Amino acid sequence: MHQQHTRSDFRSDTVTRPSPEMLAAMSAAEAGDAVYDDCPTTSALERLAAERLGKEAALFFPSGTQSNLAGLMAHCGRGDEYIAGQQAHVYRSEGGGGAVLGSIQPQPLPNEADGTIALDAIAAAIKPDDFHNAMTRLLALEDTFNGIPLPDDYLQQATELARAHGLATHLDGARLMNAAVATGRDPAWIAGWFDTVSLCLSKGLGAPIGSLLVGPRDLIERARRVRKMVGGGMRQTGYLAAAGIYALEHNVERLREDHARAQRLSQVLREYPELGAGEAQTNMVFMTPVAGFDATAFTGFLAERGIRVGGYGTLRWVTHLDVDDSDVEAVARACADYF
């Protein structure tokens, strides 16, 4: 771990700060005007991302929300429809941007416990070509989903079903690299099932800001227009892009450390049945305390010890590069004292 800290912050892997090495790369970056497409470091990041994910082109965005929005709007026009999970980030947690800004109708479907959407539910939700209906254009999936990688066979079955019905496919792959590391799959293999993929750099990969949309060049050029429209055309992004390059070159394999710590954290929390903690498959542990347990008192006790955790009702613990073994052991000691 590279940051000295006085508290253990498990709220999210978005709380990380750049390492000294990443800051050095940012400081040394060559920057141009990215709106004019003459920022060499931003272009280098986009080429690297496209290569790593096996796509023609990539585009740098300030946030995953904006990257997903541009993906939706590149695929769908006014009055079109996209299918997504009821609990999917792109449907539930991005301000309704597809509907508000793209006039795209969402068709949410229930997520199964493993993050999948039942194939028969997807098939049933695809609208017939009738002027009474919105035109179903896109299937949007999420990987990882609540820290769970989507199963290999499901990636194939769901995307093949979509294509058989003439739908395009988009992946909210904010934590795609976590999924790849956990499953042993090449990230390009996962991305290969989808037309477009959004990848976040500022979560477990440790960059301070930024996401990438990758896909066919024509769709990425449509997304470039959307990015400008919604205010995402930034100028000297080379400094941020340098952090993204460092993240992709140095911080992917180390995600294994986060996964191992999440597994250890799960073991600690599961010693206390009242907490209702689940197992970790990547870098997240979800905890749904049993009825009657005072979760507010428990999280307050943790906060007094400098331990921060996120969520309401169901609590989410997230490991990342600014959490080390001592932080996990601090949770173990705090739980032992509390109970």
- The verdict on 100 and 244 lying in the same domain is yes
pTM: 0.95
Please confirm whether the linkage preceding 183 is cis (ω < 30° from 0).
Answer: no
The residue out of 230, 250, 270 marking a domain boundary is 250
CATH of the domain at 117: 3.40.640.10
Residue 139: alpha-carbon gap to chain centroid: 17
- The verdict on 244 and 268 lying in the same domain is no
The verdict on residue 10 lying in a domain is: no
Quote the CA–CA distance of 331 and 164 in Å, as a whole number: 49
- The verdict on 245 and 278 lying in the same domain is no
Contact present, 139 and 170 (Cβ < 8 Å) = yes
Give the residue ranges of DSSP H helices in the chain: 20-27, 40-52, 64-75, 89-92, 97-102, 119-125, 152-164, 176-183, 187-191, 217-229, 238-250, 255-269, 295-304, 325-338
Contact present, 287 and 277 (Cβ < 8 Å) = yes
- The verdict on 264 and 225 lying in the same domain is no
Which residue type is seen at 209? I
The verdict on residue 1 lying in a domain is: no
Contact present, 80 and 137 (Cβ < 8 Å) = yes
Residues 6 or more apart whose Cβ sits within 8 Å of residue 88:
108, 111, 140, 141, 142, 145, 172
- The verdict on 98 and 205 lying in the same domain is yes
Instruction: Say how many residues make up the chain.
Output: 339
Q: Say how many domains are in the chain.
A: 2
- The verdict on 135 and 160 lying in the same domain is yes
Residues 6 or more apart whose Cβ sits within 8 Å of residue 265:
10, 280, 285, 317, 319, 328, 331
The verdict on residue 3 lying in a domain is: no
pLDDT on residue 159: 98
- The verdict on 152 and 235 lying in the same domain is yes
* Token digits of residue 57: 């082109």
Longest dimension (CA), the chain: 64
Q: Which residue shows structure tokens 């007094």?
A: 304
The verdict on residue 196 lying in a domain is: yes
Residue (of 59, 89, 82) closest to 167 by Cα position: 82
Residue 272: which domain range? 254-338
The residue out of 202, 221, 250 marking a domain boundary is 250
The C-alpha R_g of the chain, in whole angstroms, comes to 20
The verdict on residue 12 lying in a domain is: no
Strand partners, 211: 61, 200
- The verdict on 224 and 75 lying in the same domain is yes
pLDDT on residue 6: 54
The verdict on residue 123 lying in a domain is: yes
Residue 176: alpha-carbon gap to chain centroid: 7
- The verdict on 296 and 230 lying in the same domain is no
The residue out of 195, 226, 250 marking a domain boundary is 250
In angstroms, the first-to-last Cα distance of the chain is 29
CATH of the domain at 259: 3.90.1150.10
- The verdict on 145 and 223 lying in the same domain is yes
The verdict on residue 9 lying in a domain is: no
Q: Per-residue pLDDT for the chain (339 aa), expressed as one digit of tens each?
A: 444 445 899 999 999 999 999 999 999 999 999 999 899 999 999 999 999 999 999 999 999 999 999 999 999 999 999 999 999 999 999 999 999 999 999 999 999 999 999 999 999 999 999 999 999 999 999 999 999 999 999 999 999 999 999 999 999 999 999 999 999 999 999 999 999 999 999 999 999 999 999 999 999 999 999 999 999 999 999 999 999 999 999 999 999 999 999 999 999 999 999 999 999 999 999 999 999 999 999 999 999 999 999 987 799 999 999 999 999 999 999 999 999
Q: Which residue shows structure tokens 């019905």?
A: 165
- The verdict on 150 and 274 lying in the same domain is no
The verdict on residue 11 lying in a domain is: no
- The verdict on 130 and 210 lying in the same domain is yes
Quote the CA–CA distance of 64 and 89 in Å, as a whole number: 10
